[in-house]
Amino acid sequence: MSEEEWTIPDVAVAVDLAVLTVRAEQLQILLVERGIEPFRGALALPGGFLESALEDIEKAAFRELAEETGLAPEGLYLEQLKTYGTPDRDPRRRVITVCYLAVLPNLPTPVAGGDADVARWVPVETALAGQLAFDHAQIICDALERTRSKLEYTTLATAFCPAEFTVTELRRVYEIVWGEQLEPRNFHRKVTGAEGFLVPTGEKTIRNGGRPALLHRRGHASLLHPALLRSRGSLEVTA
């Protein structure tokens, strides 16, 4: 095709969010029940189209999250996951979506709005075992593997925790996200020895029963040194 014959493709831009939390001792993801076609009644990730050509993509992600689930961005860890643009991913037209990975501590049940009839937390395994709209099963798999991987070399695990937490609560985050059991003493030694990972508050809690446990908050570090490695038996999930 010559330069004179070429025209700018008609492509719509959307945003989607893979929002993860640890809830009821499970890794759960925020899903909405679609209230419009296509895939009306199916579960999907919260998201939607840009309001205009002038809307910032990250701001659009926060807007869609608030509109469809009622959740506010405060305390939310957010990073861009991947761009998805397979030509047939949306039956309406060519749609490219910029997907964000979000992590946050356990929150109350979300409230649906916008073009979503229902918004709820769903265990990741349950979500992947069902039928999801568009290519959202693949997006969830990618978000899960990104999260599992980043727990090895960053302090992302603390984003699942409240402002103050115990080492045991942090260990449960790793165990739930990785899907494997960790040796408590070895884990305690590694995380308390990693520079800038945890800061003791000097306070203790008995909220989990047993002996009083020391509370910590997140330190200044964003990368872990040395890294905390999962076992190679923690396999990637595929859609």
pLDDT at 235 over 60: no
Q: What is the pTM of this model?
A: 0.92
- In the predicted model, what is the mean pLDDT of the chain? 92
Work out the average pLDDT over 38-48.
Answer: 95
Reported as a pLDDT band with limits 50, 70 and 90, residue 73 is confident
Across the strands, what pairs with 181?
A: none
pLDDT at 162 over 80: yes
Q: For 24-115, where are the E strands, in sequence order?
A: 26-34, 43-44, 47-49, 77-84, 95-103
Reported as a pLDDT band with limits 50, 70 and 90, residue 108 is low
What pLDDT does residue 236 have?
57
Q: Which domains does the chain have, with CATH numbers?
A: 12-136 (3.90.79.10), 154-218 (1.10.10.10)
Query: What residue type is 227 in one-letter code?
Result: A
H or E element at residue 144: helix 136-153
Residue 55 in contact with residue 99, Cβ under 8 Å? no
Reported as a pLDDT band with limits 50, 70 and 90, residue 175 is very high
Residue 61 in contact with residue 46, Cβ under 8 Å? no
Query: For residue range 208-233, what is the model confidence (pLDDT) as tens digits?
Result: 888 999 999 999 999 999 999 999 76
pLDDT at 38 over 80: yes
CA distance 112 to 59: 19
CA distance 82 to 45: 14
Closest CA relative to residue 42, chosen from 139, 104, 116: 116
Work out the average pLDDT over 98-110.
Answer: 87
